[in-house]
Amino acid sequence: VVSAADPDPRIARSTHLVREAALAELAERGYGGFGIESVSRRCGVAKSTIYRHWPGRLALVADAFESLDVQPPDMAPAAVGPWVRIEELLRHLADAMRDSRFGGCLPALVEASEHDPDVRRFLHGFSARRRQALVDAIGRAVAAGEVRPGLRPEEAALALSGAIIYSRLMTDRLVEPDDVGGLMEAVLGPRP
Amino acid sequence: VVSAADPDPRIARSTHLVREAALAELAERGYGGFGIESVSRRCGVAKSTIYRHWPGRLALVADAFESLDVQPPDMAPAAVGPWVRIEELLRHLADAMRDSRFGGCLPALVEASEHDPDVRRFLHGFSARRRQALVDAIGRAVAAGEVRPGLRPEEAALALSGAIIYSRLMTDRLVEPDDVGGLMEAVLGPRP
Amino acid sequence: VVSAADPDPRIARSTHLVREAALAELAERGYGGFGIESVSRRCGVAKSTIYRHWPGRLALVADAFESLDVQPPDMAPAAVGPWVRIEELLRHLADAMRDSRFGGCLPALVEASEHDPDVRRFLHGFSARRRQALVDAIGRAVAAGEVRPGLRPEEAALALSGAIIYSRLMTDRLVEPDDVGGLMEAVLGPRP
Amino acid sequence: VVSAADPDPRIARSTHLVREAALAELAERGYGGFGIESVSRRCGVAKSTIYRHWPGRLALVADAFESLDVQPPDMAPAAVGPWVRIEELLRHLADAMRDSRFGGCLPALVEASEHDPDVRRFLHGFSARRRQALVDAIGRAVAAGEVRPGLRPEEAALALSGAIIYSRLMTDRLVEPDDVGGLMEAVLGPRP
DNA sequence: CGCTAACCGAGACGGTACGTCCCGTCTTTAC
DNA sequence: GTAAAGACGGGACGTACCGTCTCGGTTAGCG
């Protein structure tokens, strides 16, 4: 919405404050309770200023989410074995679920994506990118013989990601980072 | 909200019409766009009548969901082999995701459960009941030697359910009933 | 509204309770705050029963007023001198202003009479009957030489009644019964 | 309610339109039938705008009345004789009774003042200010020998004002400006 | 002295207005 | 000249009554 090259420091300040407040608002009150005026009060930026930079509720929500930019960790793709790489990716996802800024907004994100194409694009893109990294790692694990032959990486990645997401959204007990090992063994078989 | 033994047919009529309209409204416009007055207009029941039976938005949402009563299929628990039973449960879940009344409301349900205890209780209860049936079936499959020994039923059930839910909520392509076989093989190993 | 010869004691009981409560309600909360349901709660008679006997708000208000039946005192029309008779009539009016049942309802009565013919008929009738008694007495006082000759009874009666009514409706201090003597001297001249 | 020095022309426009409509509404439908939404529809100003400037029904009623600002005529206090001054004041009052904006609202004003201190303060203040001017004029008439000695100005003013007010509120026939002379003679004695 | 007709209570129902809150647009004011 | 402050029309919220209606349960007074 706002050009990254915008030189005006006032605009940069406003957008930053608003995005922070928007995320806090979403995590705290949910998508239904999210309000522009509430964000305005929370961060001290005038409502008219917010409307000058974002066309409305949904755009602000989508933009705030994008600013989160929770990418899968790219470090050490080859230096470690595939099993460890898989574990790293899943731990990172499990951590994100516990982060108030991302995990707290996830339900709102899911709901918003249902009716707004921008939000959906972001959410599905985020999800797909992450899963692809997992698929790659599982494929390498199959090739390296660390998991049973014949295991299909796509379905396995869906099941592993799904377990973590699902436990966050529809369960009383979310998958902790230390639970990741057990989860992997349940899907991929015994640790090599 | 309304006693099951209430003999007044007017109440029965009103509650039924309102619940139907509420579900349609939720599936169509989501939790954020859900409005009592809109439900009222949709089903022709006066707003005052709705408020006479439900204290507010959230209560109506929760009650409408509960009226869905999408139970896991209880038929044939022992007559068929465990593998088939697991497949049956997962197919039923995959079907529910495609049902507009349940699958369409799921995002709203997830979002609402984040801030309303009643909705949360319903959603988590539904989810847990369903998963428990799956855990039982997987346990029997392990005991029967239909899947690899040492597989932990809880984690496996989480992964299988999660894959289906997750694909509905954060993915462009949901798990079709015919995909269930492949999914099971990815998690449980080759079909016996 | 209800026939005086109605023999059913249940109806008599209901109408009496409702009328009492209606007057109390009017004196307490005024014409604007007057409500059928409030009257119903106050006297324990069901709303449906009230509507069975009166067609609506206004009819109940008018009927309740009529039941007050505050008549000018008819005793001693000739046994005493005209001056004393005038004083008696005005004292009675001043007393009525202090009665919570009549004086408290008077503003509501005035307001209601502005838009309801039934109420207006009652109020103007009450007012005219009372004033006529005063006009008669003043006329006799003129004839008896107790007040200055040439004094017009109609205007004098209007001024005397008006002073008492006006002080109740638009003044902080209403005319007490003991002020009546002074008022009469101001309008009629010195006491004979 | 609104600062007199408020320079925003939008506020001035809104308040003016609303006050006009409120007075029309009061005169037309009375205090009981007075409604904010009706005023809103009548003048085309949104309900939310009305509530932004007045806290509620009563405040709007009181403020609209105050905006009437029907002051007793201050011109010619000494240039003319006391009798003429008295006549002038009473004619002005009788005229006000016939003005739809003031006279039409008077019953509503009386009723409202019974339960709202702001309205009462305005009404009693208006009434007292006006009556005081009359008391002064009558006092001067006594001093000038235009009326009988010993006449008490307070009571006489009460009777004269009362006759006019009372005839408006509780009588079929109000005091016309041309009736004022006769009324004065009835209370004050023959015209000098 | 029982029966039937009526009254009564309880309250659901479709409405309408209340007063509050927020939306998204727009104008005014101040820095 | 931009940002704040906030007025504006609009509309949903949840509440409270309105006046209509349909129920059983009681009760009165006629037979």
Question: B14-61 pLDDT, tens per residue?
Answer: 999 999 999 999 999 988 889 999 999 999 999 999 999 999 999 999
Instruction: Assess whether B14 (CB) lies less than 7 A from strand E.
Output: yes
- Count Cβ atoms within 10 A of the Cβ of residue C17 and give its class: 0-12 exposed, 13-18 middle, 19 or more buried: middle
The rounded distance, in Å, linking the Cα atoms of C145 and C127 is: 27
The token pair that represents C38 in the structure block: 């409030």
The rounded distance, in Å, linking the Cα atoms of A136 and C93 is: 100
The rounded distance, in Å, linking the Cα atoms of A153 and A76 is: 20
- Count Cβ atoms within 10 A of the Cβ of residue B75 and give its class: 0-12 exposed, 13-18 middle, 19 or more buried: exposed
Q: What is the pLDDT of residues A87-122, one digit of tens each?
A: 999 999 999 999 888 888 899 999 989 988 888 998
Would you place residue D29 in the very low, low, confident or very high pLDDT band (cuts 50, 70, 90)? very high
Per-residue exposure over C106-135, b if at least 16 CB sit within 10 Å of its own CB, e if not: bbbbbbbbbbbebbbebbeebbeebbebbb
Instruction: Assess whether C57 (CB) lies less than 7 A from strand E.
Output: no
CB-contacted nucleotides of strand E (7 Å): 7-29
Q: What is the pLDDT of residues C168-178, one digit of tens each?
A: 999 999 999 99
Nearest to B15 by CA among B32, B2, B34, B33: B2
The token pair that represents A121 in the structure block: 């694009």
- Count Cβ atoms within 10 A of the Cβ of residue B96 and give its class: 0-12 exposed, 13-18 middle, 19 or more buried: buried
Res A169 pLDDT > 60 = yes
Residue A3's pLDDT is 46
Q: Strand E: which residues 19-48 of C lie within 7 A (CB)? A: 44-48
Q: How far is the CA of C171 from the C1' of F3 (A)?
A: 53
Residue D1's pLDDT is 42
Residue B155 at interface with chain A, using a CB cutoff of 8 Å: yes
- Does the distance separating the beta carbons of D111 and C183 come in below 8 Å? no
Which uninterrupted H or E stretch holds C28?
helix C9-33
Residue A80's pLDDT is 81
Q: What is the pLDDT of residues D128-177, one digit of tens each?
A: 999 999 999 999 999 999 999 999 999 999 999 999 999 999 999 999 99
Q: Give the helix, strand, coil percentages of chain D, each rounded to 5.
A: 70, 0, 30
- Does the distance separating the beta carbons of B166 and A110 come in below 8 Å? no
Q: How far is the CA of B20 from the C1' of E23 (A)?
A: 28
What are the backbone angles phi and psi of residue B119, rounded to the nearest 5°?
-65, -40
| Residue among B114, B132, B188 with most chain A CBs within 10 A, to mutate | B114
Opening angle at CA A47, ends A44 and A49, nearest 5? 90
Q: How many other C-beta atoms are found inside a 10 Å radius of the C-beta of residue B188?
A: 23
Q: What is the mean pLDDT of chain D?
A: 91
Residue C11's pLDDT is 92
- Does the distance separating the beta carbons of A112 and B158 come in below 8 Å? no
Instruction: Assess whether D33 (CB) lies less than 7 A from strand E.
Output: no
Residue C26 at interface with chain D, using a CB cutoff of 8 Å: no
Residue B16's pLDDT is 97
Res B101 pLDDT > 90 = no
**Percentage above 70 pLDDT, chain A:** 92
Residue positions counted in chain B: 192
Nearest to A62 by CA among A114, A98, A10: A114
Under DSSP, is residue C120 helix (H, G, I), strand (E, B) or coil? helix
Please, do chains B and C touch (3+ CB pairs < 8 Å)? Answer: no
Under DSSP, is residue A88 helix (H, G, I), strand (E, B) or coil? helix
Residue B96 at interface with chain A, using a CB cutoff of 8 Å: no
- Count Cβ atoms within 10 A of the Cβ of residue D46 and give its class: 0-12 exposed, 13-18 middle, 19 or more buried: exposed
Kindly give the residue spans of alpha helices, DSSP state H, lying in A34-116.
Answer: 36-43, 47-53, 57-68, 82-98, 106-115
**Percentage above 90 pLDDT, chain B:** 73
Which residue's CA shows the smallest distance to C1' of F3?
A49
- Greater confidence (B2 vs C43) lies with C43
The pTM assigned to this predicted structure is 0.86
Phi-psi region of A153 (alpha: psi -120 to 50; beta: other; left: phi over 0): alpha
Q: Strand E: which residues 40-99 of D lie within 7 A (CB)? A: 47-48, 51, 55-57
- Greater confidence (D51 vs A61) lies with D51
Q: Strand E: which residues 47-86 of B lie within 7 A (CB)? A: 47-49, 52-53
| Residue among A65, A97, A138, A170 with most chain B CBs within 10 A, to mutate | A170
Would you place residue D44 in the very low, low, confident or very high pLDDT band (cuts 50, 70, 90)? very high
| Mean pLDDT on C97-123 | 90
Instruction: Assess whether A37 (CB) lies less than 7 A from strand E.
Output: yes
Amino acid (one-letter) located at D45: V
Res C75 pLDDT > 70 = no
- Does the distance separating the beta carbons of C172 and D124 come in below 8 Å? yes
